Amino acid sequence: MTINSLGFLLFYTALVIIYFLPFMKRFQWMLLLIASVSFYYLAGSNNFIYIIAATIATYIGANLLEKKTQKQTEYLAENKANMTRPEIKTYKESIKKEKHNILVWSIVVILGILIVVKYGRFIAGNLDRILPMANLSDLTFFRLAAPLGISYYTLMSIGYLMDVSKGKCQCEKNILKTGLFLLYFPQITQGPIGRFTDMAGNLFGQHEFSYERFSYGCQRILWGFFKKMVIADRMKPMVDAIFDNYQNYSGFSIFLGCMYFAIQLYADFSGYTDIVSGFSGILGIELMENFRRPFFSTSLAEYWRRWHISLSTWFRDYLFYPLSLSSPAVKLGRVGKKILSPRVAKLVPSLYAMFIVWFATGLWHDASWRYILWGVCNGVIMISSMCLEPQFNWIKGKLHIANDNKIWRVFQMVRTFLIISMLKVFPMAVSTKGSFALIGKIFADFHIEFTKAACFPELGNNDFVAIIIGLVIFFYVSVRQEQGPMHERINKHSFPVRWVMYLALLLMLVTFGVFGTEMTGGFEYAQY
Q: Contact residues for another protein (CB under 8 A)?
A: 89, 92, 166-168, 301, 305, 316-317, 320-322, 324-325, 330, 333, 346-347, 349-350, 353, 386
Residue of 100, 207, 365, 400 marked catalytic: 365
Beta strands in 100-208 (DSSP E): none
Least distance to another protein from the beta carbon of 62, Å?
16
In the complex with another protein, the residue whose CB is nearer, 144 or 386, is 386
In the complex with another protein, the residue whose CB is nearer, 343 or 452, is 343
Least distance to another protein from the beta carbon of 346, Å?
4
Give the CA distances from residue 286 to residues 130, 225, 274, 368, in Å, rounded to whole numbers and listed in that order: 48, 19, 11, 34
> Is 365 among the catalytic positions?
yes
**How many Cβ atoms sit within 10 Å of the Cβ of residue 337?**
14
Least distance to another protein from the beta carbon of 443, Å?
32
User: Residue 427: which H helix or E strand, with range?
Assistant: helix 425-428
Q: Is 62 left (phi over 0), alpha (psi -120 to 50) or beta?
A: alpha
In the complex with another protein, the residue whose CB is nearer, 52 or 386, is 386
In the complex with another protein, the residue whose CB is nearer, 317 or 458, is 317
379 DSSP β-pair partners:
none
Q: What is the 8-class DSSP label of residue 228?
A: I
**253 contacts 454 by C-beta, under 8 angstroms:** yes
Cis peptide before 192 (omega within 30 of 0): yes
Nearest to 349 by CA among 381, 380, 383: 383
Least distance to another protein from the beta carbon of 333, Å?
6
Least distance to another protein from the beta carbon of 187, Å?
23
Half-sphere exposure of 300 (CA within 13 A, CB side): 18
Task: In whole angstroms, give the CA distance from residue 281 to residue 277.
Answer: 6
In the complex with another protein, the residue whose CB is nearer, 153 or 320, is 320
Nearest to 319 by CA among 361, 270, 290, 279: 361
Q: Which positions are catalytic?
A: 365
